[in-house]
Every structure is written in C-alpha cells, then in structure tokens.
C-alpha cells in the first residue's frame, strides 16, 4: 500500500469523466483501492475518488469517522469503509439540504452546497458483486460529492458560496480547522472528501 499524491484542479485529469471499471480481476484495481484508502486516511479525509489520485476510473472510497461523537451523529455508518465501483445514484430524495463542504483536491477552501438529503447508490463492490446502498444525511452528501468527482465535477461548481479558510473569522477558523478532518455534525463541522 502507498499514499498517492492528491491532485488539484491545475491537473486537467480532475476534470475528466472517469471510465467504467470492467476488469475486476486486474490486481491493479485492488492496489488502487488499498492506496486510495491509505491516501484518504493519511489526508484525514472522509472520502476519495480515483480521479483525485489521477486515475480516471469510476472508483470511490468513503469512511466516516468513528469516535464517540461521530457514532452519535452517523450511527451504524460511523467507521464503515464503503468501496464502490461504478457507483450510480439511482434514487434521490426531493428534499435538499444545505451543508458546508471541503475537498482534499481544493485545500484551504470551504463552500456551501445544496445536496439531496437521501440517495440510493448502486454499483459494485471490489470483487464486482452488485451492491446497493441507501444513504442519508452526511453519508449521502459524501456519496454525491464523490460521484461528482467521477464526472469531473467539483463542489465549487455548484456551491452557493465559497470561501478561503484564511478569510474566516478567527473563531470560525478554529472551529472548522479543528474539525474539518474529523467529522461533520449538525453544528457545522466540515470533513474533506
């Protein structure tokens, strides 16, 4: 396993539509998944999409934190590793919710983004088996953020407002800086993905 470099929008790969994975027997796919998990952990993020490590394949990994506070917030999803290949949103709630997001590819920035409160994601697991995941709240937000990455879309494209962490009030900066790599709760902490 290895930590890979996370690319920024200066690298055009981040804007490419990623390709469907078809060969699950390719050992490179398993290495990619392992490396993505390690890279996500190393960066303190809660999600990562393959284009962020310059691989144009439809692979995402998500893991919400599992400290006590997060367990209260995320319930059974806290600390669960989701690896989804070729993920697709097959159902989305009409209800939208605003939240603050950050992205490991756009360090130092935050933005307010409307997302569906709940989405059902269909795809394959790392061995190619069909899976279907129902998600809501923060997990649903991270799924939407990561699946956007597979289409070359960044949260700043549809954010209602984007700001630099350094432009925030000192108090706010402390709050977000402390928590942006840890968890999001209803009072507005912001993980990166």
Spatial CB neighbours of 11, under 8 Å, sequence gap ≥ 6? 54
Phi then psi dihedrals of residue 152, to 5 deg: 75, 15
**What minimum distance in Å lies between the beta carbon of 146 and Ni ion?**
7
In the chain, what's the furthest Cα-to-Cα distance? Answer: 50
**What minimum distance in Å lies between the beta carbon of 49 and Ni ion?**
7
When CB distances to Ni ion are compared, the closest residue is: 103
Cα-Cα-Cα-Cα dihedral sign, residues 112, 3, 69, 168: negative
Which pair of structure tokens corresponds to residue 112? 């307010």
Identify whether 146 is a catalytic site residue: yes
Spatial CB neighbours of 151, under 8 Å, sequence gap ≥ 6? 17, 18
**What minimum distance in Å lies between the beta carbon of 145 and Ni ion?**
6
Residue nearer to Ni ion on the CB measure, 64 or 103: 103
Distance CA 107, CA 11 (A): 14
**What minimum distance in Å lies between the beta carbon of 97 and Ni ion?**
18
Q: What angle do CA 138, 161, 154 make, to 5 degrees?
A: 60
One of 103, 119, 121, 176 touching Ni ion (CB under 5 A): 103
Residue nearer to Ni ion on the CB measure, 9 or 75: 9
Residue 40 makes contact with Ni ion by CB under 5 A? no
> Residue 13 burial (CB < 10 Å; 0-12/13-18/19+)?
middle
SS3 158: helix
Residue 62 makes contact with Ni ion by CB under 5 A? no
Residue nearer to Ni ion on the CB measure, 101 or 137: 101
Which pair of structure tokens corresponds to residue 155? 């949260």
**What minimum distance in Å lies between the beta carbon of 103 and Ni ion?**
3
Tell me which stretch binds Ni ion (CB under 5 A): 33-41, 73-81, 117-125, 185-193: 185-193
Residue 133 makes contact with Ni ion by CB under 5 A? no
Residue 82, beta-bridge partner list: 62
- Of the candidates 63, 73, 101, 146, the residue annotated as catalytic is 146
Residue 142 makes contact with Ni ion by CB under 5 A? no
Residue nearer to Ni ion on the CB measure, 11 or 24: 11
Residues of this chain that interact with Ni ion (CB under 5 A) are 103, 193
Catalytic residues: 146
């Amino acid at each position: 396993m290895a930590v890979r470099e996370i690319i920024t929008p200066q690298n055009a790969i981040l804007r490419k539509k990623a390709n469907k994975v078809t060969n699950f027997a390719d050992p490179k796919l398993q290495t990619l998944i392992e490396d993505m998990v390690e890279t996500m952990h190393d960066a303190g993020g809660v999600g990562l999409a393959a284009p962020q490590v310059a691989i144009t394949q439809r692979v995402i990994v998500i893991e919400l934190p599992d400290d006590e506070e997060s367990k209260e917030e995320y319930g059974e999803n806290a600390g669960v590793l989701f690896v989804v290949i070729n993920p697709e949103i097959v159902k989305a709630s009409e209800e939208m919710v605003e939240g603050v997001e950050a992205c490991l590819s756009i360090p130092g920035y935050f933005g307010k983004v409307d997302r569906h409160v709940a989405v059902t994601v269909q795809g394959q697991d790392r061995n190619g088996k069909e899976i279907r995941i129902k998600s809501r709240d923060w997990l649903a937000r991270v799924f939407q953020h990561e699946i956007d990455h597979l289409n070359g879309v960044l949260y700043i494209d549809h954010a209602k407002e984007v700001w630099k962490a350094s432009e925030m009030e000192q108090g706010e900066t402390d709050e977000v800086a402390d928590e942006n790599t840890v968890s999001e709760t209803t009072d507005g902490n912001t993980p990166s993905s």
